[in-house]
Amino acid sequence: MLTVEGLSSAYGRIVVLHEVSLTVAQGEIVALVGSNGAGKTTLLRTISGVQPLTGGRILLKGRPIERMPAHARVGLGIAQSPEGRQVFGPLSVEDNLRLGAFRRQDAGLAERLAQAYAMFPILWEKRAIPAMSLSGGQQQMLAIARALMAAPKLLLLDEPSLGLAPLLVDQILNAVVSLRDQGMTILLVEQNASAALAIADRGYVLETGKMVHQGAAQSLLTDPRMQAAYLGL
Ligand code: ATP
């Protein structure tokens, strides 16, 4: 589904990603973990096209997309749920969801709204209230549901568990697993490496802009170097 080859990215003269490569196959959850400031968010933003690259390639189903503007990538099936939730606070929950639909008039809109509410029933209960009145966990659910409204083929999730209580973390990650079980392809960025690897098929570890480990999620979870450096064991 997604192939990233030798990708570099910089903020001005500060290079943040150094020839990073990864793949995500159809129907996989791939976890991207690494400490604060490693460049995980920058990698997601470069894939979605919000951040320009300085080198390398990005292929979606074999098609180069690295020169396409972000909106064209949404049209091809890439949706990102941003870190820090970033919902539209004064707008109602339902209007936030409607804004996530790439083609506002398309026929599948009502069905996707129904799917979003089925996945997160609390959003149905709160559909008419301003998004800023939601709790942190509910806002996170809204951000994910809004990304799904574009009917993506590839979902980029940035830190969906950030700042949430353990019970809510479980609820969000269970939702991610059920999306994968329905055929969605997911690249999941998390600082909570053990929680992310526990639900992922494969994982990558980014350290100061370089990929330093990769492998099956289970083998990363049991790797002593991973346990010492990233898993707090
Ligand atoms: P975190 O989990 O803290 O978000 P991260 O792994 O997602 O970490 P990034 O947010 O991608 O890391 O940041 C990578 C590096 O790029 C950091 O050193 C950060 O300070 C720097 N950086 C991020 N955004 C900008 C920006 N807009 N301008 C300049 N430097 C930036």
Predicted-complex ipTM score: 0.92
Of 105 and 224, the one with more pLDDT: 224
The minimum-distance atom of ligand 1 relative to the CA of 83 is 4
* Comma-separated ranges of CATH 3.40.50.300 domains in the chain: 1-77+153-233
Question: CA-based angle 134:90:150, to the nearest 5?
Answer: 80
Mapped onto helix, strand or coil, the DSSP state of residue 44 is helix
**Does the pLDDT value for residue 93 go beyond 90?**
yes
pTM of the model: 0.91
What pLDDT, on a 0 to 100 scale, did the predictor assign at position 36?
87
- 142 touches 89 (CB < 8 A): no
**Shortest-distance Cα residue to atom 16 of ligand 1:** 16
pLDDT score for 137: 86
Nearest to 80 by CA among 25, 150, 5: 150
Q: What is the mean pLDDT of the chain?
A: 91
Q: For residues 21 and 60, is the Cβ–Cβ distance under 8 A?
A: no
Alpha-helical (H) ranges within the chain are 40-48, 70-76, 93-100, 109-119, 121-125, 136-148, 166-181, 193-199, 217-222, 224-229
pLDDT at 106: 67
Average pLDDT over residues 166-183: 90
Closest-lying ligand 1 atom to the alpha carbon of residue 34: 6
Instruction: Give the mean model confidence (pLDDT) for residues 215-221.
Output: 95
- Distance from the alpha carbon of residue 204 to the mean position of ligand 1, in angstroms: 18
| Closest ligand 1 atom number to CA of residue 206 | 6
Class of domain 1-77+153-233: alpha beta
- For residue 41, report the distance from its CA to the centre of ligand 1, in Å: 7
Is 146 within 8 Å of 97 (Cβ atoms)?
Answer: yes
